[in-house]
Copies of this chain bind each other. A is one copy, B any other.
């Protein structure tokens, strides 16, 4: 804290004007962001690793820690478990190691929930692990209280109740199926926006993105929100050679998928 106060007093208003950073962004740059990424069998790998890859890059500038959280610790495959739509277990999969359970996860500033066909499997199994975890932790997160979902991960946020009465978006390819699944458990009056690359709602605390690759655009928007449009943020996107969509209303896929 002393370090922070010194920084602020040295920087002062002059520096703020020079850099166009807010006090909150300067404070954020001084803190360690504790990230918790949730996984489950049949998660969509790019949902997770798109945002994680961007956060990995920026973690060379802004201090971060990462916990991979699931029902149990150990390997979790993105291969799709059988469910009512069919047996797609022949699809390729690889395993990511969960380091924590919902019970043992450390204090978190950010919770990241990917989607994937596994979202439907969890709901069919009446597995509310993610929903209960998000509901329990939502008011305990500190760093702007941020919970982010990619693709059908929004289904779990909706069912946790943190999107009640709020605008949100999700995957466009299976829009009707997943928004119907999402209208259950603690969900009430979620306002699903069919055309949006991402949506920032609940006083800036919840971010939902459209399908899969949209997670990269959302995390870029969140970085600019949290740290400002800094050289470090621009460098990380140029470093991964990704030209982000910076307009949250850009959504050709809502047209492609007719939602």
Where the two chains meet, the residues of A that have a C-beta atom closer than 8 Å to any C-beta of B are 35, 37, 44-46, 48-50, 52-53, 55-56, 59-60, 63-66, 68, 75, 78, 88, 90-97, 99, 171-173, 210-214, 216, 238-243, 252-253, 256-257
Contact = CB atoms under 8 A, between A and B. Distances in A.
Contacts of A97: 75, 94-97
Nearest to A32: B90
A96 B75 CA distance: 8
A60 B46 contact: no
A211 B241 contact: yes
Given A50-B46, A97-B97, A56 B92 contact: yes
A78 B59 CA distance: 13
A94 B64 CA distance: 13
A96 B93 CA distance: 11
A59 B91 contact: yes
Contacts of A66: 92-94
